[in-house]
Copies of this chain bind each other. A is one copy, B any other.
């Protein structure tokens, strides 16, 4: 059905297999820092206008691949599509973040929550298939979802927050309601990601963007436990190919050992993340020592490095590669490291900085 993969370095690195070079992609690589993205968005009229239109979503997903020698594409979409499909009424006001018309703040609202009909998310799966076809085997396509906890943050707060007071108040005062919501979210996220895999996603990533705001103890109970539940239900292979599972908890550096732990999956086999995404506060070498050979690592340049000049960008890229350390494989091939930023790229980034980054990663890591 699809063209064979020409550049599989990303997939190989996820599975800790030898690679030609350290693969690189950037979170939010299809985004506002690119003039061609802004042009397409102007035509589409809005962020969701882009995400819900197959042609637009395909076009913007491929835009950064035209400019840069990236080793993976990531579906253009938003982490809030799932709660939107649950009927919470997502909107993006201009210049502001996302907003839900119907936040989930009490027992009645929680009781009404259901795993959404995947037909309501058809536009996402259509985009996945369209992008996969358009890629024509150039690089693999990553699908994604927000984590159950991160979705709950938005579902309760109704918008972004700087203190997570409402969601944490529910968590501390009515843990039963929070667990109920998280169970539904975990079920929905697993179904959503598996449907993306069936539609053509060759790897999937769970963005636990707000796991790091939780206290030690609460993180394990309210975030990690439900991420694990998703991982247990995810397809490990499709069409005979392994589908790597990536988990990124921003601010989760203290919990890497627990995040890397393998648990028994629903099929009786091993389950757990293949790759952990890391933000820039984590030392890659120290992280590698802590998680051993259980997972690959993805990250972790500070996106603000891209505001410096080319020499500084090159120096910081070199430092990041060096901090991961020597390759695992006896033949000297790099493996187990996927280069990325520690967070999404800033909309103010000069596009030429990304060329310097991508080319330097390849140059310095090529065998």
Q: Is the Cβ of A217 less than 8 Å from the Cβ of B319?
A: yes
B residues in contact with A216, CB < 8 Å = 280-283, 286, 323
B residues in contact with A253, CB < 8 Å = 253-254
A251 lies within 8 A of chain B by Cβ: yes
B residues in contact with A312, CB < 8 Å = 172-173
Of the residues B281, B301, B305, B309, contact of A254 by C-beta under 8 Å: B281
Q: How far is the CB of A330 from chain B (nearest CB, A)?
A: 29
Residue in A165, A215, A312 with the greatest tally of chain B CB atoms within 10 Å: A215
- Tally of A interface residues using CB under 8 Å: 38
B residues in contact with A304, CB < 8 Å = 163-165, 168-169, 172
Q: Is the Cβ of B215 less than 8 Å from the Cβ of A172?
A: no
A219 lies within 8 A of chain B by Cβ: yes
Question: What string of 1s and 0s marks CB contacts (under 8 Å) between A336-359 and chain B?
Answer: 000000100010100000000000
Those of A286-325 within 8 Å (CB) of chain B:
286, 300-305, 307-309, 312, 316, 319, 323
B residues in contact with A300, CB < 8 Å = 215
Question: What string of 1s and 0s marks CB contacts (under 8 Å) between A73-90 and chain B?
Answer: 000000000000000000
Question: What string of 1s and 0s marks CB contacts (under 8 Å) between A151-172 and chain B?
Answer: 0000000000001110011001
B residues in contact with A177, CB < 8 Å = none
How many protomers of this protein does the assembly include?
A: 2
A218 lies within 8 A of chain B by Cβ: yes
A316 to B300, CA, bound (A): 33
B residues in contact with A346, CB < 8 Å = 163, 165
A98 lies within 8 A of chain B by Cβ: no
Q: Is the Cβ of B169 less than 8 Å from the Cβ of A302?
A: no
Of the residues B173, B307, B308, contact of A307 by C-beta under 8 Å: B173
Q: Is the Cβ of A280 less than 8 Å from the Cβ of B165?
A: no
A27 lies within 8 A of chain B by Cβ: no
A300 to B214, CA, bound (A): 12
Cβ contacts A to B, 24 pairs, < 8 Å: A163-B303, A163-B304, A164-B304, A168-B304, A168-B307, A169-B307, A172-B302, A172-B305, A173-B308, A212-B281, A214-B280, A214-B281, A214-B302, A215-B280, A215-B301, A215-B302, A216-B286, A216-B323, A217-B319, A217-B323, A253-B254, A254-B254, A254-B281, A254-B282
Report, nearest first, the 5 A-B pairs whose CB atoms are least far apart. A168-B304, A215-B280, A172-B308, A173-B308, A169-B307
